[in-house]
A and B are shown apart, each in its own frame.
Chain A
């Protein structure tokens, strides 16, 4: 089977690798890193916390991805790039109402609330996660975790190449049709043409851009072990531990096509939230600032659309790492490769 893929970001790489691993002959057309949003993500796997806003379908895809990530990464001896020791959901004392509102919303939607949402308070919380000692109360979400974004993106590129995927760099796809991709004015024929582009798929897909900004802070001594969602009525943030004492503080969600650098306002909001999270972060160093334009459909959830010899995986929004593997495995099944 011959498969042509438009887009070499997170989803294009995952799909190319899994198709090639399943025996297909795969060619990827990638416009380049310029508009890529995958590196700006925190890589959180938050199928439970997302339930406060997202659908049960996204939760199911997230749970499936949490199962697939370590299995797939293990094939490349890289299971360690997926860390699953749970995540925290918390809020400062004055925002306690918001914490209870979100916890209630999750409990009402998740199949086994007692298993997925475990309350900790006081001394117990401080022992479990010393970096959260300043918080009265937090919920542990044991199913959650993260993938290490930079390492995973690099690994996926390598894994695709090792599986025999041909890579066309700097080749933006102009059109995806049934069994057909057009790049640089030339039509190429395949058994399946797959559209894995982000905002590059406009206007064929009804996508809008949601700008996300995050800061990487180096802070030895904080010692936070699990990704933490800090709720707030207006400006919720997450703090995600990375190797070598780096913490990703994110992320804004701004309806904007502006790909420019992080604004002062966003930096103030994110760092203000980080400082309030734990004053130790005041001594940290901002070592990186990243911006991505997330491709979003009107319902903010990923969609797999399957036609005759063509399919599209679009609108990953904030959920590329969370829903990507599940969506890709659905796409494989649709092409008869599962």
Chain B
């Protein structure tokens, strides 16, 4: 597979095309709108701490979730 090939992953429920050699950090950074907002990420239902996102290579069909703070009781 060439480095330029694209794979499809899901990010917060929506399908996205990313380069086949992307890391989870790259996909998440491209998606986030406000760099100051706190966040945490899970891949396929498992929490991946932020320092480990760059080393987490994406595979086709990976489910990435970006979470943030919301109102709660």
Contacts and interface: CB of A to CB of B under 8 A. Distances in A.
A234 to B, nearest CB: 12
A115 interface: no
Interface string A245-263: 0000000000101001001
Consensus secondary structure, chain B interface: loop
A260 B15 CA distance: 13
Contacts of A260: 14
Contact of A257 (B13, B14, B33): B33
Interface string B43-73: 0000000000000000000000000001000
A261 B70 CA distance: 22
A162 B70 CA distance: 47
Nearest to A260: B14
Nearest to A256: B33
Contacts of B13: 263
Nearest to B33: A257
Contacts of B14: 260
Interface string B16-36: 000000000000000001100
Interface in A239-290: 255, 257, 260, 263
A36 to B, nearest CB: 19
A226 B34 CA distance: 41
B33, B34, B70: which has the most chain A beta carbons within 10 Å? B33
B36 to A, nearest CB: 12
B27 to A, nearest CB: 16
Contacts of B33: 257
Nearest to A258: B33
Contacts of A257: 33-34
Nearest to B71: A255
A5 to B, nearest CB: 28
Nearest to B12: A258
A260 B16 CA distance: 14
Contacts of A263: 13
A75 to B, nearest CB: 42
A257 B34 CA distance: 9
Contacts of A255: 70
Nearest to A264: B13
Contacts of B70: 255
A211 to B, nearest CB: 12
B17 to A, nearest CB: 15
5 contacts: A255-B70, A257-B33, A257-B34, A260-B14, A263-B13
Interface of B: 13-14, 33-34, 70
5 closest Cβ pairs, A-B complex: A257-B33, A263-B13, A257-B34, A255-B70, A260-B14
